Amino acid sequence: MAFTAKDVKELREKTGCGMMDCKKALTASDGDMEKALDFLREKGLAAATKKAGRIAAEGVAFAATSEDGKVGVAIEVNAETDFVAKNASFQEFVKICANTVMEQNPADVEALLKCKVSDSDKTVDDILKEKILTIGENIKIRRFERVEGHAASYIHAGGKICVLVTFDTTDEIAAKPEFDEMGKNIGMQIAAMNPEYLDDAHVPAEVVEREKKIASEQAAASGKPANVIEKMVVGKVKKTLKEICLVDQEYVKEGKQSVAQYIESVAKSLGGKITITGFVRFVKGEGLEKRQDNFAEEIASMVK
């Protein structure tokens, strides 16, 4: 079967591959478009394998909620460079992953890769390998978290940090724009202040004990009487817990009240109750080894 320049153009548009690669694929497939796509995908598998060992610590932390706001997803997808993270094709893939998690609720990243994408016969893994081929960088889905309940999402600095927050309230209150604004504000609070726990009830006993020990050692060095030292320890631990627990933190947009008081004031104005039930905060590349580029060496190797 012969093929034309129009076929090459169509294959190129479908895959984002170079013209010569598309020509080779159509030649090897006797002009059959589907077989040519498979040929390039197989080539992509080889390319993906080669790139799989390369460090991917850039990318994006992304969060989104379903249309009804009752399911939320936070996900981190890594690439090798910040440049690729801004690529529309990469961002589209991140959204496909988030939507698939929302719709199919896979148990983990391995299960997500096996999921068939909505309105497609391809799996997430198929699309991932295509993106590696066309974008030319190692790409990895690192982690995700899916929540159910009235959820709000917030993305900071174009994907440097993403936040997902869940609330217990009525459908009527959750449908109001004031609720959306509050959800975004709490997301900003979490992004900026990095709370470790929701409230003091969620702080493990060993963490409290550690803080007491540190505070006791500091207070003992003051040489003050035992009853004063006891009060100093209680005060110090209370202050630390206030800093690490979200609901007790000072609300950054209006320092005169706590986060809990801010949520309460919004609930009162909307004529009901709102309780914050949990949050997820992902920082892009957190804990990953970063790629160390030596620009001089790279140029020297290109010159050779």
* pLDDT value for 182: 98
pLDDT digits (tens, 9 = 90+) for 163-193: 999 999 999 999 999 999 999 999 999 999 9
Ranges of residues in the chain whose predicted pLDDT is under 50: 45-46, 295, 298-299, 302, 304
Q: End-to-end alpha-carbon separation of the chain, Å?
A: 42
Predicted confidence at residue 46, as pLDDT, reads 44
Res 295: pLDDT: 46
Angstrom distances, CA of residue 203 to CA of 10, 165, 197, 209, 246: 57, 18, 6, 10, 11
19 Cβ contact partners less than 8 Å away, ≥ 6 residues apart: 8, 12
For residue 32, give the 3-state DSSP assignment. Answer: coil
Per DSSP bridges, beta strands 150-156 and 140-148 are: unpaired
Are 84 and 138 in contact by the 8 Å Cβ rule? The answer is: no
Q: What is the DSSP letter of 197?
A: B
All domains of the chain, ordered by start, with CATH? 5-51 (1.10.8.10), 60-195+277-283 (3.30.479.20), 200-271 (no CATH)
Number of H helices, E strands in the chain: 13, 6
Asked whether 105 and 78 are in contact (CB, 8 A), the reply is no
- The answer to whether 161 touches 180, Cβ cutoff 8 Å, is no
